[in-house]
Chains A and B, each alone.
Chain A
Amino acid sequence: MSLLKDKKVIIIGDRDGIPGPAIEECVKDAGAEVVFSSTECFV
């Protein structure tokens, strides 16, 4: 069973790492509910 199934998830992605929308697709597939997702630029 997925670690993220039925969990509420807050995503902060990284422009030069894994951006928010890419993480979003993964956690949705794992059965989580995305309550907030954004990508930030740390440089």
Chain B
Amino acid sequence: MNSVIKGTSYILAHAPDMVIHNGSTQTTERIVNPNSEYLVKLPSHIRSYEDALNYRPNQTYIGNMTPAELGEIPQPWYDKPMENGPRYGKFGEIMPEDEFYMMMQVCDVFDLVHLEKGFVADVKPRFTANPVISEDIAARIHDGIDISEIEHFVNEEHAEGLYYQDKLVGYVKRAHDVDVNLSAHVMHENLVSKASSVLALLYVVKNSGIDKSEVEYVIDCCEEACGDVNQRGGGNFAKAAAEIAGLTSATGSDMRGFCAGPAHAMVAAASLVKAGTYKNVIVTAGGCTAKLGMNGKDHVNKDMPVLEDMLGGFSVLISANDGVNPEVDTDIIGRHTVGTGSSPQAVIGGLVAAPLARAGMKIPDIDRYAAEMQNPDITKPAGAGDVPASNYKMIAALAVKQGDMEKAKLATFAKEHGMVGWAPTQGHIPSGVPYVGFLREQILNGEVNTAMIIGKGSLFLGRMTNLFDGISFVVRKNAGAAQAQEGGVSKAEIKGLIAEALRDFAASMME
């Protein structure tokens, strides 16, 4: 039987100071053009935490708005904030930067992260008041240290400074004096990824109600690499995060594929559970420091706030079929293979048309498509266009070309089978998976029956191949649930009928 999507979580962490100090666009600019106008102007374009809370795409990511509701708001969205945007949503939360630094500290097991005394005293009560921060995690908070010690490590020992509202409040120090793979820069990026993954794991446990001890395997699908000089990508983020999240019965591994990583991981998790290897697998990923402010120059040039100030994370719990939750249909898998070719037609053909044709389906038979759900508010001003809209156009065009759909429906395809993008441009974070949380709900409430999740990865960025990559899978209403709705008999009902018959039999024996 197919495995099911039993729970999801989506979290954000606001990281405005990390935009300035750690985003690759900014760190590169400081090297090549330290006196640039951009670096001078940037601080006045940084958003406050309240601005980040009131930003509608962020509220959509944590589940307080649906993509359809966001789509009703005319673009751009950054100048149309909501009022009193809440921190918590049904999928997760938007954590402020100061608390996220504490999250990084509790996720550090090598004494690399230290925070200033006063900062710890101020943040600790708020951090520990968070409903997902359990006592075992709170017990990991270290006492703060003197600012002079922090300044020493940042100025003399190559540590990465942690800044809050432009003030130095802590550091991440290097884990080795000469190994570049354990440098302060790499350790900072990896601890950010780990901390945001842990937060997502804590929420998926809470949202799904699963007992932590029942999680058997965790797959991390972010885009970072951890290891030392002898094994740069040795891993394993998954197990490291599972340890802090208290998933003591789990082991895990990392799957990579640039932005296609999450879709690959979902297919692997669904297959592992379907095969009976494990009963409960969590797919998880934390956020990416380097991509903070990636398109900042364009945002500043257009006098906009720098919108790429959010670290993203998500987790999805895949479990054995319960007859209720949506199924991951591993019989309909689209793959961009080595021989597929790179034309958009070939790509969408391999990812969408071919797997559906093998299953005897046509493109319009799928209710919803989720490809690259990047927020167009971020990408359009940077000249990268509306990425979800481009993907829908290509899918619709192929549907018409194949004769699956009338040409007249081209214009309405995106509205009927798609949605606007809302996810931060954190690489793997927007790649198909942000919709899985909403999809699960929409299938459970009967709004949607089928959806295709599409992940795409830019392998060429690693300079090992010119190839691109992609993988897709279909999620559908549970066959048991569908049968029950159609008047058939579900597994639970059969159990009930048998129990009733046995009771009657036992009663007749007593007479």
Give the B-binding residues of A (Cβ under 8 A): 14-22, 25, 38-39, 41-43
The answer for the CA separation of A39 and B487 in the assembled complex, in Å, is 52
Say whether B249 faces chain A, with CB atoms less than 8 Å apart. Answer: no
Say whether B100 faces chain A, with CB atoms less than 8 Å apart. Answer: no
Sorted nearest first, the 6 A-B pairs with minimum C-beta distance are: A42-B384, A41-B458, A22-B343, A21-B342, A19-B342, A43-B374
Task: Specify which chain B residues have a CB less than 8 angstroms from the CB of A25 in the assembled complex.
Answer: 343
Closest to A38 in B: B460
The answer for the CA separation of A22 and B347 in the assembled complex, in Å, is 11
Say whether B368 faces chain A, with CB atoms less than 8 Å apart. Answer: no
Closest to A13 in B: B342
Question: Do the beta carbons of B458 and A39 come within 8 Å of each other?
Answer: yes
23 residue pairs of the A-B complex, CB under 8 angstroms, read A15-B456, A15-B468, A16-B390, A16-B456, A17-B385, A18-B343, A19-B347, A19-B468, A20-B342, A21-B342, A22-B343, A22-B344, A25-B343, A39-B342, A41-B258, A41-B259, A41-B461, A42-B379, A42-B382, A42-B384, A43-B372, A43-B379, A43-B384
Say whether B304 faces chain A, with CB atoms less than 8 Å apart. Answer: no
The one of B258, B259, B383, B460 in contact with A39, judged by C-beta atoms closer than 8 angstroms, is B460
Q: Give the contacts of B338-380 with A (CB-CB under 8 A).
A: 341-344, 347, 372, 374, 379
The answer for the CA separation of A18 and B348 in the assembled complex, in Å, is 12
Say whether B168 faces chain A, with CB atoms less than 8 Å apart. Answer: no
Give the A-binding residues of B (Cβ under 8 A): 258-259, 341-344, 347, 372, 374, 379, 382-385, 387, 390-391, 425, 427, 430, 456, 458, 460-461, 466, 468
Closest to B421 in A: A43
The answer for the CA separation of A39 and B344 in the assembled complex, in Å, is 13
Most buried by A among B342, B379, B391: B342
Task: Specify which chain B residues have a CB less than 8 angstroms from the CB of A17 in the assembled complex.
Answer: 344, 385, 390
The answer for the CA separation of A39 and B430 in the assembled complex, in Å, is 20
Most buried by B among A16, A18, A39, A41: A16
The answer for the CA separation of A21 and B391 in the assembled complex, in Å, is 19
Q: How far is the CB of B139 from chain A (nearest CB, A)?
A: 39
The answer for the CA separation of A18 and B347 in the assembled complex, in Å, is 10
Q: How far is the CB of B24 from chain A (nearest CB, A)?
A: 13
Task: Specify which chain B residues have a CB less than 8 angstroms from the CB of A15 in the assembled complex.
Answer: 456, 458, 468
Q: How far is the CB of B186 from chain A (nearest CB, A)?
A: 21
The answer for the CA separation of A25 and B425 in the assembled complex, in Å, is 30
The one of B343, B387, B460, B466 in contact with A43, judged by C-beta atoms closer than 8 angstroms, is B387
The answer for the CA separation of A8 and B482 in the assembled complex, in Å, is 59
Task: Specify which chain B residues have a CB less than 8 angstroms from the CB of A42 in the assembled complex.
Answer: 379, 382-384
Task: Specify which chain B residues have a CB less than 8 angstroms from the CB of A20 in the assembled complex.
Answer: 342, 466
With A41-B458, A43-B384 known as contacts, the answer to whether A16 contacts B466 (CB < 8 A) is no
Q: How far is the CB of B221 from chain A (nearest CB, A)?
A: 17
Closest to B387 in A: A16
The answer for the CA separation of A17 and B468 in the assembled complex, in Å, is 12
The answer for the CA separation of A19 and B344 in the assembled complex, in Å, is 8
The answer for the CA separation of A25 and B458 in the assembled complex, in Å, is 20
Task: Specify which chain B residues have a CB less than 8 angstroms from the CB of A14 in the assembled complex.
Answer: 384
Q: How far is the CB of A30 from chain B (nearest CB, A)?
A: 16
Closest to B343 in A: A22
Task: Specify which chain A residues have a CB less than 8 angstroms from the CB of B384 in the assembled complex.
Answer: 14, 16, 42-43
Closest to B386 in A: A16
Question: Do the beta carbons of A43 and B430 come within 8 Å of each other?
Answer: yes
The answer for the CA separation of A33 and B391 in the assembled complex, in Å, is 30
* Contacts beyond the supplied A15-B468, A39-B458, A42-B383: 19 A-B pairs with Cβ under 8 Å: A15-B456, A15-B458, A16-B384, A16-B385, A16-B391, A19-B342, A19-B344, A20-B342, A20-B466, A22-B344, A25-B343, A39-B342, A39-B460, A41-B458, A43-B372, A43-B379, A43-B384, A43-B387, A43-B430
